[in-house]
Amino acid sequence: MDAALQKIPLVDLRAQYLSHRDEFDRAVADCLLTSSFINGRDHSAFAEEFADWCGGGFVVLCGNGTDALTLALIELLGRGNGTGEIITVAHTFIATAEAISNAGYRPVFVDIEPATYVMDPTSVKQAISPLTRALVPVHLYGQMAPMEQLMEIAATHGLKVVEDAAQAHGATWRGKPAGHWGNAACFSFYPGKNLGAWGDGGAVFTRNQALAARIAMRANHGRKDKYLHEFEGLNSRLDGLQAAILRVKLRYLDSWTAARRRIAGWYNKRLAGLAGVQRPEVHPYAGHVFHLYVIEVDERDRILTELKKQGIDAGVHYPIPLHRQPAYAHLGYSVNALPVSSRAASRVLSLPLYPELTEAQVNRVVEALAASLTG
pLDDT in tens, 230-277: 999 999 999 999 999 999 999 999 999 999 999 999 999 999 989 999
User: What are the backbone dihedrals phi and psi of residue 251, each rounded to the nearest 5 degrees, phi first?
Assistant: -65, -25
* Single residue among 250, 265, 287 that ends a domain in this structure: 250
Which amino acid appears at position 140 of this protein? L
Query: Is it true that the peptide bond before 318 is cis, omega within 30 degrees of 0?
Result: yes
Tell me the per-residue pLDDT of 305-333, one tens digit each, with 9 for 90 and over: 999 999 999 999 999 999 999 999 999 99
Does 327 lie in the same domain as 215?
Answer: no
Q: Which domain holds residue 203?
A: 16-250
Average pLDDT, the chain: 96
Answer yes or no: is 1 within a domain. Answer: no
User: In this structure, what CATH number is given to the domain that contains residue 22?
Assistant: 3.40.640.10
Flag whether pLDDT at 339 surpasses 80: yes
Task: Give the H/E segment covering residue 295.
Answer: strand 293-297
Residue 39 has pLDDT above 90, yes or no: no
For residue 314, report the phi and psi dihedrals to the nearest 5 degrees. Answer: -75, 170
Mean pLDDT of 145-153: 98
pLDDT band at 3 (very low <50, low <70, confident <90, very high): very low
Residues 265 and 143 in one domain: no
Per-residue pLDDT at 225 exceeds 90: no
The pLDDT value recorded for residue 5 is: 65
pLDDT at 2: 52
Shared domain for 296 and 361, answered yes or no, is yes
Tell me: do 154 and 52 sit in the same domain: yes
Beta-carbon-side half-sphere exposure of residue 278 (alpha carbons within 13 Å):
15
From its phi and psi, is residue 127 left (phi > 0), alpha (psi between -120 and 50) or beta? Answer: alpha
**Is residue 228 one of the residues assigned to a domain?**
yes
Q: Are residues 241 and 262 in the same domain?
A: no
86 and 231: one domain?
Answer: yes
- Quickly list H helices, the chain: 13-19, 21-34, 40-53, 65-77, 95-102, 121-127, 147-157, 209-219, 240-250, 253-271, 300-309, 339-347, 359-374
Q: How many domains does the chain have?
A: 2
Residues 6+ apart with CB under 8 A from 183: 72, 76, 160, 161, 162, 206, 208, 211
Single-letter amino acid code for the residue at 327: A
Determine, yes or no, domain membership for 10.
no
Segment 145-150 mean pLDDT: 98
Give the CATH number for residue 315. 3.90.1150.10
- 76 and 184 belong to one structural domain: yes
What does the pLDDT read at residue 7? 95
For range 264-292, the mean pLDDT: 97
List phi, psi (to 5°) of 197: -85, -170
Specify whether the CB–CB gap between 264 and 280 falls below 8 A.
yes
Q: Which of residues 234, 250, 266 is at a domain's end?
A: 250
| Residue 45 resides in a domain | yes
- Report the percent of the chain where pLDDT is more than 70: 99
Burial label for 30, CB within 10 Å (0-12, 13-18, 19+), is middle
Tell me: do 200 and 298 sit in the same domain.
no
Strand partners, 225: 228
Residue type, 172: T
Whether residue 1 is predicted with pLDDT greater than 80 in this model: the reply is no
Burial class (CB in 10 A: 0-12, 13-18, 19+), 356: middle
Among 193, 216, 250, identify where a domain stops: 250
Same domain for 351 and 204? no
* 9 in any annotated domain: no
Domain contains 11: no
Confidence class for position 40, pLDDT limits 50, 70, 90: confident
Same domain, 86 and 186: yes
pLDDT surpassing 80 at residue 59: yes
Residue 50 lies in a domain: yes
Question: Looking at the domain assignment, is residue 7 inside a domain?
Answer: no
Q: Do 138 and 70 share a structural domain?
A: yes
pLDDT given at position 244? 97
Same domain, 165 and 115: yes
